[in-house]
Amino acid sequence: MPTPHYGQPRYRVIADQLRERIESGSIPPGSLLPTESALTSEFRASRGTVRQAIAVLREEGLVTTEHGRGTSTRPITLGHDSKQAAKSDNERFEIAADADIAKLFGVEIGTILIGQQQVHRRNGVVESVVRGYWLHRPGQ
Amino acid sequence: MPTPHYGQPRYRVIADQLRERIESGSIPPGSLLPTESALTSEFRASRGTVRQAIAVLREEGLVTTEHGRGTSTRPITLGHDSKQAAKSDNERFEIAADADIAKLFGVEIGTILIGQQQVHRRNGVVESVVRGYWLHRPGQ
DNA sequence: AGAAATTTGTCCGTATGTATC
DNA sequence: AGATACATACGGACAAATTTC
């Protein structure tokens, strides 16, 4: 079989479908995703492709993977309050756009955006903090 | 050949070496990294492993990759002037730590940090904004 | 303008190592 | 100890974007 990936690559299509299940609640927060081999059978894709799809969700912060255990969904913490102590080093939240951000996106100040904060540590010590912002559901 | 990855996996070792070259200036900002096939020969690793190593650097924001062109180290705009900053989608600046950030780093509020903002566009439209923060001269 | 070469992107199949149950 | 599941690594093949000639 050739490698036709008209439009979207397979791993993104698979990632989209899995994201759909997670966000629709079909796969509840905190529960395990199907195993890699199960997804391999279901989507008739190679394991590498399935793993690539899962990697997409992991980068988005939607799931976490534990060696030898599996990949599980993680709840999105909405209504983030800055004083709220973060339990995780990777959390999602909603936040109102400040002047800078609002101008960049071309929206009004205060528009609600999706934010994600990721804390990077080395030997337990915080090395850097990265925050990403984007609009709800940009055409992907 | 077996797959021994005692201690660190190969792709991380390769990533570490490449990072070293970038930070030492051996690969200057804005210049192209060796091609994947060149790295494959040099490190005697498979292309997949080399690509995984590059992916690490990409996640760290050290390099950017363009289809058909190559992977280049990110040009660092040591900018501080807002006029130049406004023109670029990638600017560095200094900023005082707010309560949130200060707590994460374990420093006092108001401590001066390095910040970097990167604007990601698709077809000219802002898709996301990423802000990173870290201390001056971390171990490295 | 266009063809060829270069380079990254995607996908497959397989094998082996390592962690968890 | 055995079964299950994720992590790493290899090699090959074709697709797509860019650069070069």
Domain of B41 in residue numbering reads as 10-73
Structure tokens given for A12: 């993104």
Residues A69, A95, single domain; the answer is no
A125 part of a folded domain:
yes
d(CA B98, CA B79): 22
Same-domain check for residues B101 and B59: no
Residue B67 domain flag: yes
Do B48 and B21 reside in the same domain of the chain? yes
Q: What is the pLDDT of residues A73-104, one digit of tens each?
A: 876 554 444 434 455 677 778 788 877 888 88
The residue assigned the tokens 């059978």 is A41
Q: Which residue of B has its CA nearest to A85?
A: B100
Task: Report d(CA A127, CA A122) in Å as an integer.
Answer: 6
Output the domain CATH number for residue A32.
Answer: 1.10.10.10
List average pLDDT for each run of 10 residues in chain B, which is 140 residues long.
68 95 87 96 96 92 92 64 48 78 83 80 75 68
Asked if the Cβ–Cβ distance from A101 to B132 is below 8 Å, we say no
- Do the beta carbons of residue A58 and residue A74 sit within 8 Å? no
Residue A60 phi/psi, 5-degree rounding, is -75, -10
- How many contacts, defined by CB atoms under 8 Å, are there between A and B? 52
Tell me if B37 is assigned to some domain. Answer: yes
> Which tens digits make up the pLDDT trace of A12-64?
999 999 998 988 888 887 788 999 999 999 999 999 999 999 999 988 778 88
Taking each continuous run of H as one helix and of E as one strand, the counts in chain B are 5, 5
Q: A59-63 contacts: CB < 8 A, separation 24 or more?
A: A59/B59, A60/A19, A60/A116, A61/A90, A61/A91, A61/A92, A61/A116, A61/A118, A62/A19, A62/A22, A63/A22, A63/A33
A124 touches chain B (CB under 8 A): no
In a shared domain, residues A40 and A91: no
Pair A46, A97 in one domain = no
Considering only residues 93-132 of chain B, list those whose CB is below 7 Å from strand C: none
Q: What is the count of structural domains for chain B?
A: 2
Residues B96 and B53 in one domain: no
Asked whether residue B126 is assigned to any structural domain, the reply reads yes
pTM to 2 decimal places: 0.67
pLDDT confidence of residue B122? 63
Domain boundary among B25, B49, B73: B73
**Model pLDDT, residue B61:** 80
